[in-house]
Structure 1
Amino acid sequence: MLKNFSRKLFCFSFIYIGIVTQSNAQIKLAKKILHKYLTNERDSSRKPTFMPLPIFSYAQETRTELGLMGLYSFYTDRNDSMNRISTLSASGSFTQNSQYTGKLRADIWTKNNDLHVVSEIRYRDFPFYYYGIGANTLKSDRTLLDEKRFRAFFSVDKKVTGHYYIGGIIDFENYDYKAHDNNTGGIYPTQNLVGKNGGKILTLGIENLIDTRNTNTYTTKGQYINLDVNWAPNLFGKDNYRGALIDFDYRYFHSFTPKLVLGLNGNYSTLTRNNAPFYLLSTMGNDEIMRGYYNGRYRDKAFAAAQSELRYRFVPRFGVVAFAGLGTVYGQSKLSTGNIKPNYGGGLRYFFDLDKNMSVRIDYGVGQRVAGESRQGGFYFSFGEAF
């Protein structure tokens, strides 16, 4: 009996030691994670960083959406303090209604920042609301559409001198549309739209870039001027677009104090030909500019917007922002001051990598209130700054 008792005592002791050892290891790991992501200690080794985030949302047209996004950041030359930060990102989600999204993106700065390479592959099988064309669409006219969209994008810019880059772009997109099974009507079935069922486009472009920012993550001083001129040749016939697409992006940053920064941003995009497919028309509202508007609530041949953002980083790990802007779409609808729409809002920032100034942001934007509708607005949750 004593022998059996000794064996049991030994077994229990072994299990207890294992549990305690594992618990201690878990505690040490938890302390290490908390120390890494909550203290103000910087990592001077400039090591790569990986940050995963969950995706969770609910909407009537999708029901529950679950997914994951992750960002891997690194330097191509860890010994060069001027080398800009490169990133690899991936995201994917699915819904209870068997809808999917997925994206892979690479944004690489080579040694000495001589080359800037961006590539992206994206697939989307997801519903969205079509409201019509112009700057005065109504919620009562919206139609729920199923969109299947594939994109393959690649650009490379070469430093010519100082802060000036020039490069090339190739971009292919394929669109497919149909009314959603639970659609209740709206304006889409009654409109004679160009590209109503989808189409294809391949563009070839030239990119001109002047970049004097002190960093490409959390910028506190400098300017960014980018002009893209793209041409879509007549490769696919039918009512697919043939013509030019122009995009302009300007950013300016000024530090009042080490903690307080003002950012200014202007955007302009246009198509050079009339009767373009509806899916290529410029849309207003996303997580970067005119936050608070549903992306696609307003769409037209051209889009113009300007915004300002005041950023206050009260401690190294956390910051807050306040933003405001004006914007509109026009083309079929005339450009007039009456169609210019305001937005404003605020947000929180958490900096998970102090060395690279990499952040996670949560913003809430507010837009216009159309008569008979509730005020437009929305939350945004993503990596990095809006601009």
Structure 2
Amino acid sequence: MKVSAQEADSAYRTKNQFVPYPVVGNAPETGFQFGFGAIYTFFINHDPRETRNSFIYSFNMWTAKQQQQYAVQASVWLPKNIWNFTANGIYTDYPLFFYGVGSDTKQSDEDLITSKRFKILTVAKHKIIKDLYAGVGLWVQNDNFSAADSTGIFNTGDYYGKQGGNSMLIGFGGAFDNRDYENSTTTGSYFSLLEWISLGINNYKFHVFNLDARHFFRFDATKCAGIQFVYQTAQGSATPFYYLPFIGGDQILRGYYVGRYRDQHMLATQAEFRYRPWGKQKDHGWFSLSRLSLAGFAGTGMVFSNGEFNFSNLKPNYGGGFRYMFEPTARMILRFDYGVGSKNPGEKRSTGFYISLNEAF
């Protein structure tokens, strides 16, 4: 039986999707948290064999202590992936814990500070040859920090850039990308180099360098594994503390509080195994078991200042979680992870629970 080209193409046609979801939580620094998120996925070219999916993601949250956070993230792929435009925007009036700078910061020094931040980061990448991209970017940010405890480490410590203010950076770099999917990759490689240079506003004179290398292996239709190596550094005579690389959060070394350790250099490596137990079953819509997957991960990393690299500073992490694939064609997922980090003498073990869009890497 012959199938016409038009019929074959129609099998790959996709529909745009809008997925809202509630946000509810609680934390000591905020009290009760509530809000909503929404994800809109679409294709500039509706044949996913030629063009990757695009998406716009928004996350908005308020707290019982009258704090707020608004975030928007977008990635747009033009036909045949010739251009990719990404943008991240965030406004926060939100508390966070600050522990100082270095690889040996103490839990006892934990200082609650309020961060009022407005940030926009955009990158445009153009395909030069197959799988190879060159790009430029613009990073604009305004920061204001305050701490109620006059005796805490933030007010008493010598951290450059405590006054906050405006900053602007321009970026340039390149990437190799032959992954089968940008979201929830199963096979292929990604290698990115990106340099950001401050324009000297507020006399902030520094540059930030990022290296991100990933490779994925597919064992069969239900199992795959990935490994990532990340290196970041911030250098310059006047580098604000909040631009220093850090570990922690929902992407790099899950299990550590975001920014728990920060310094001039950060390097980390992590591996993850992903398993879709019912991946071979036919998809029947929103409640299909084929859309669920499990993951386990482990890694290690550290931060260090210039000339002070030491393997003894490596900090391990491990954990696992599950994912729900709400858009199978584009492989867009909601991710639920629990990570475990190290236990310093006299402190509780570091742990973290995360709900995020798409995989950590």
TM-score (norm 2): 0.91
| Structure 1 residue 375: Cα displacement | 0.4
Amino acid at match of 1:196: K
Give the equivalent residue in structure 1 for 2:51. 83
Taking the TM superposition and a 5 Å limit, the aligned residue runs for 1:321-336 are 321-331=295-305, 334-336=308-310
- Against the structure 1 CA distance between its residues 296 and 268, is the aligned structure 2 distance closer, same or farther, given a 3 Å change threshold? same
Amino acid at match of 1:263: G
- Against the structure 1 CA distance between its residues 79 and 192, is the aligned structure 2 distance closer, same or farther, given a 3 Å change threshold? closer
| Structure 1 residue 332: Cα displacement | 6.0
Deviation per CA, 1:357-377: give whole Å up to 9, x if none.
Answer: 221110000000011111000
| Structure 1 residue 49: Cα displacement | 1.3
2:34 corresponds to 1:66: yes
Give the equivalent residue in structure 2 for 1:3. none
Deviation per CA, 1:262-316: give whole Å up to 9, x if none.
Answer: 1001111101225521111111111112000001110101110000000111112
2:68 to 68, 88, 100: 100
2:311 corresponds to 1:345: no
2:320 corresponds to 1:357: no
2:213 corresponds to 1:250: yes
| Structure 1 residue 45: Cα displacement | 3.5
- Runs of 4+ with deviation above 6 angstroms: none
Give the equivalent residue in structure 1 for 2:142. 174
CA distance in 1, matches of 2:19, 2:82: 27
Q: Which range moved further: 195-204 or 157-166?
A: 195-204
Q: Confirm or deny: 8 A CA contact 1:300 1:333 kept in the other structure.
A: no
1:276 to 211, 235, 239: 239
CA distance in 1, matches of 2:190, 2:156: 43
1:236 is paired with a residue whose SS is helix
CA distance in 1, matches of 2:64, 2:324: 31
| Structure 1 residue 343: Cα displacement | 0.2
- Against the structure 1 CA distance between its residues 275 and 79, is the aligned structure 2 distance closer, same or farther, given a 3 Å change threshold? closer
| Structure 1 residue 344: Cα displacement | 0.2
CA distance in 2, matches of 1:154, 1:262: 30
Give the equivalent residue in structure 2 for 1:300. 263
Give the equivalent residue in structure 2 for 1:223. 189
CA distance in 1, matches of 2:24, 2:247: 24
2:16 corresponds to 1:48: yes
2:344 corresponds to 1:383: no
2:251 is paired with a residue whose SS is coil
1:370 to 333, 336, 344: 344
CA distance in 1, matches of 2:187, 2:28: 43
2:172 corresponds to 1:206: yes
Taking the TM superposition and a 5 Å limit, the aligned residue runs for 1:1-40 are none
CA distance in 2, matches of 1:354, 1:234: 45
Whichever of the two has the greater Rg, that structure is 1
Q: Confirm or deny: 8 A CA contact 1:150 1:174 kept in the other structure.
A: yes
Q: Confirm or deny: 8 A CA contact 2:265 2:306 kept in the other structure.
A: no
Q: Confirm or deny: 8 A CA contact 1:135 1:333 kept in the other structure.
A: no
Q: Structure 1 vs Structure 2: percent identity of aligned residues?
A: 34
CA distance in 1, matches of 2:157, 2:202: 23
Equivalences, count: 341
1:188 is paired with a residue whose SS is helix
2:155 is paired with a residue whose SS is helix
Give the equivalent residue in structure 2 for 1:14. none
1:173 is paired with a residue whose SS is strand
1:256 is paired with a residue whose SS is strand
Deviation per CA, 1:318-364: give whole Å up to 9, x if none.
Answer: 11000000100011682211110000000111112222222111000
| Structure 1 residue 253: Cα displacement | 0.3
Amino acid at match of 1:360: L
| Structure 1 residue 190: Cα displacement | 1.9
CA distance in 2, matches of 1:105, 1:81: 24
TM-score (norm 1): 0.85
- Against the structure 1 CA distance between its residues 366 and 114, is the aligned structure 2 distance closer, same or farther, given a 3 Å change threshold? same
Give the equivalent residue in structure 2 for 1:193. 159
Structure 2: which 5+ runs fail to align? 1-10, 279-289
Give the equivalent residue in structure 2 for 1:35. none
| Structure 1 residue 214: Cα displacement | 0.7
CA distance in 1, matches of 2:268, 2:213: 11
Deviation per CA, 1:35-75: give whole Å up to 9, x if none.
Answer: xxxxxxxx853001122221111122211110111111111
2:230 corresponds to 1:267: yes
CA distance in 2, matches of 1:92, 1:209: 31
| Structure 1 residue 212: Cα displacement | 0.5
Structure 1: which 5+ runs fail to align? 1-42
Larger strand percent? 2
1:213 is paired with a residue whose SS is coil
Q: Confirm or deny: 8 A CA contact 2:215 2:227 kept in the other structure.
A: yes
1:197 is paired with a residue whose SS is coil
Q: Confirm or deny: 8 A CA contact 2:150 2:156 kept in the other structure.
A: no
